[in-house]
A = this chain, B = another copy of it.
Amino acid sequence: MFFHVKELQYNAKPSKPDPVYAKKLQEILGGQYGEMSVMMQYLFQGWNCRGNEKYRDMLLDIGTEEIAHVEMIATMIAQLLDGAPVNDQEDAAMDPAIGAVLGGMNPQHAIVNGLGAQPNDSAGYPWNARYTIASGNLLADFRANLNAETQGRLQVVRLYEMTTDPGVRDMLSFLIARDKMHQNQWMAAIEELEESQGAVVPSSFSPEHEISDVAYSFMNFSQGEESKTGRWARGSSMDGKAHFNYVQQPEANGQKPQLNPSPPYMHGTPPISDGGPAEMNH
């Protein structure tokens, strides 16, 4: 169960309205790596956590914090939209500054949301649940989380570069710091799990059931061998169980596929005799 306090976790006060920037800021609210994504991802991972209370508690801690981040950004966006001009094109043509605002705004911020934040990204695309993962394997999911915080911080930093508003930058400075912590946090949790479980997920699958001779080979499917100089092509493997090797000319070891004709009740194309399909009922 959850409780809400009125104050934000950190200030979210722009110096002045900027409806074009409001559109851009939507990316870290309702985008693929926005705060809604990490919020839902951590909460579902926590709720689905089976028998590891330390991790469940941690996931619900951070999932709950992320709701507060959604709240901060939504609040910021609503203020950036304060008094946005929605006049017609004629006025805009006379004042290039207004024209730039009108051309760059998300029209739904006015028409649909009445100058409020929306749960969409900066292209106006709605958030959807396929952005999240809760796999039931914590090491797998912590890698998803590290990725999310990595992409997320990168996007916040880029948005920091795209404004000079000190109030907006202040809030972003907070989020950038929290994302630094969260990258550190998932790296720590990953290290902890890798130590006991091994590096390859899932560690519980027996290696006997793998085609082991391709389990440590880098295959060169693209002309040129620049890829040969990478760490992935030489030295001991990262799981410490073998050595990487480089396959300069990978071979096709499978069959040349030939599918059976489909049954008549499927009304596919029948097998073709020389020069054209066989006689049909027509």
Q: Would A114 and B102 be within 8 Å (CB), given that A74-B44, A192-B230, A256-B7 are in contact?
A: no
Are A136 and B262 within 8 A (Cβ)? yes
Are A255 and B140 within 8 A (Cβ)? no
Partner of A211 from B10, B68, B124 at Cβ < 8 Å: B10
Residue in B closest to A219 when the chains form the complex, CB atoms: B65
Residue in B closest to A124 when the chains form the complex, CB atoms: B123
Kindly list chain B residues whose C-beta atoms are within 8 Å of the C-beta of A205.
157, 160, 176, 267
Are B4 and A2 within 8 A (Cβ)? yes
Q: Would A18 and B259 be within 8 Å (CB), given that A58-B227, A211-B174, A280-B196 are in contact?
A: no
Complex interface residues of chain A between 248 and 282 (CB less than 8 A to chain B): 250, 252-272, 275-282
Are B159 and A111 within 8 A (Cβ)? yes
Kindly list chain B residues whose C-beta atoms are within 8 Å of the C-beta of A128.
126-130
Are A50 and B244 within 8 A (Cβ)? no
Are A202 and B157 within 8 A (Cβ)? yes
Partner of A272 from B51, B100, B154, B202 at Cβ < 8 Å: B51
Are B183 and A200 within 8 A (Cβ)? yes
Q: How far is the CA of A173 from the CA of B212 in the complex (A)?
A: 9
Are B169 and A136 within 8 A (Cβ)? no
Pick 17 A–B contacts, CB within 8 A, sort by A: A4-B61, A6-B252, A43-B67, A47-B257, A50-B116, A60-B222, A61-B220, A88-B162, A111-B162, A135-B151, A136-B266, A139-B150, A161-B265, A177-B215, A180-B200, A185-B218, A191-B231
Kindly list chain B residues whose C-beta atoms are within 8 Å of the C-beta of A7.
1, 252-256
Kindly list chain B residues whose C-beta atoms are within 8 Å of the C-beta of A43.
67, 70-71
- Best-surrounded residue of A70, A108, A222, A265 (most CB of chain B within 10 A): A222
Partner of A137 from B9, B114, B126, B264 at Cβ < 8 Å: B114
Are A121 and B108 within 8 A (Cβ)? yes
Complex interface residues of chain A between 98 and 155 (CB less than 8 A to chain B): 99-104, 106-108, 110-140, 143-144, 146-147, 150-151, 153-155
Are A181 and B215 within 8 A (Cβ)? yes
Q: How far is the CA of A64 from the CA of B224 in the complex (A)?
A: 13
Q: How far is the CA of A87 from the CA of B154 in the complex (A)?
A: 17
Are B112 and A155 within 8 A (Cβ)? yes
